[in-house]
Amino acid sequence: MVLVLSWAAFTMTAVDRSTWGPASMSVGEDLGVSLAGLGVFATGYYVGYVISNAAGGVLTDWLGARAVISVSLFVAGGFMILFGETDSVPLGIAFQAAVGVFAGCDYSAGVKLISQWFPARDRGFAMGVFMTATSLGTVIANAVVPGLLASSGWRTSYHLFGAASMVVAVLCFLLLRPGKHGAETRREVPNLRPLTRNRDLWLLGLAGFGGLWGTYGFITWSNSLMVRGNGISPVQAGTVVVIFGITAIAAKPFIGMVSDLFGDRRKIPVIIVLGAFVVTLLVFGTRDDLTGFLWVAPFLGIAAYVYSPLMVALIPKLAGVRLAGSAAGITNSFWQLGSTIVPVVIGAVFQATQSFFWAFATLAAGPLFGMLLMLGIRERDTPTVASGLTEERVA
């Protein structure tokens, strides 16, 4: 129940985030925003998302995951509905930023709950299931939004997903409970000093920055780039992104399960996957028709997503369960900086070069950077926590 509800909450924020990709051109036409200017809306969301990740992680360790995940998701859903009502560009950017502020908390709360309920030997699979939310959100948005655009307009999609987010938030508030594995005996503001001195956690945060540069740069811009750069229809572009996301849904739990079976080792698989991500982005950038995109999309979807559950499973191993929420929030803040910067950068690159390939080569630079940084992480066999005790002794 805890895994399903944490996954459902994370799925809804992923749907809310991914709605912008297929809806962006319609929003731009309705509000009179240029192609390059559309990246500012996505950046507004991710600025709020980065801010809330660090704060949400600390709040999770302090106030408890149940309160944080339910309240933040409910308010994010409300701002989704408000964005669907706006006719003002500045107000729309502000609403997108507000959605990001509240949507950024449920990730660290979910990681905390899973860390409490699942022992280290089972976390790869559990995190794999949890992280299918990001790719499933992409699938749902790209499967549903193009049809809604044709039938009732972009505003309906924001109203629909905002209301669904609020319903899931209520269920989380009613049904979630903390686990006993590594759970705190009292609520207090967490001591973050051990995290600031954790070299491996810093490297993981920067490596994730590179990975999400590629992943969310693709999610944000792939629809528009395929339509503008190669002349395929919005529905066809949505189909490509749906295939991209569907393959990752199956691959994430599988990669987590495999890492569990091979002794809880995550570093080397992350390096291999990030390398494959670089290659598939470059190959996708050389395609110029629907058939080519459809062939590459499933391989790109696997490479663009399966590094994330492995990275997330590393967090409680490097930081310990006691500070898992704060560590998840802080590292994800670095990860999401890639999501924040990349929409504007890719928009500027494409507008300056009018080159589909160079836009994707710019995306590929992110996972290449992440792969190199992962080489420096020291993956220990026994996780530690702030007190210096092993996770098992704390539990």
Calculate the dihedral angle through the C-alpha atoms of 80, 85, 89, 90, rounding to the nearest 10 degrees: -70
Q: Give the DSSP per-residue string, 140-201.
A: HHHHHHHHHHHHT-HHHHHHHHHHHHHHHHHHHHHH----STT--SS------HHHHT-HHH
Which residue in this structure is represented by tokens 């999309």? Answer: 297
- Please give the Cα distance from 93 to 106 (Å, whole number): 21
DSSP-derived 3-state class of residue 134: helix
- The pLDDT value given to residue 121: 75
Q: For residue 272, which amino acid is it? A: I
* Cα-based angle 329, 385, 101 (whole degrees, multiple of 5): 10
383 phi, psi to nearest 5 deg:
-70, 150
DSSP-derived 3-state class of residue 390: strand
- Please give the Cα distance from 137 to 142 (Å, whole number): 9
- The pLDDT value given to residue 60: 83
- The pLDDT value given to residue 380: 67
- The pLDDT value given to residue 147: 84
Whether the CB-CB separation of 61 and 326 falls below 8 Å is answered with yes
- The pLDDT value given to residue 188: 60
- Please give the Cα distance from 173 to 158 (Å, whole number): 23
Spatial CB neighbours of 118, under 8 Å, sequence gap ≥ 6: 3, 126, 181
Residues constituting the chain? 395
Q: How many contiguous H segments (helices) and E segments (strands) does the chain have?
A: 17, 0
Spatial CB neighbours of 324, under 8 Å, sequence gap ≥ 6: 61, 111, 112, 115, 182, 315, 316
Domains within the chain, CATH numbers bracketed: 2-177+195-380 (1.20.1250.20)
Q: What is the mean pLDDT of each run of 10 residues along the chain (395 residues)?
A: 93 88 83 76 79 80 86 94 89 89 86 84 83 83 85 89 94 83 54 73 89 87 82 84 82 79 76 94 89 91 87 78 74 77 84 86 93 86 41 37
Calculate the dihedral angle through the C-alpha atoms of 38, 43, 44, 46, rounding to the nearest 10 degrees: 140
In DSSP terms, 390 is beta-bridged to 384
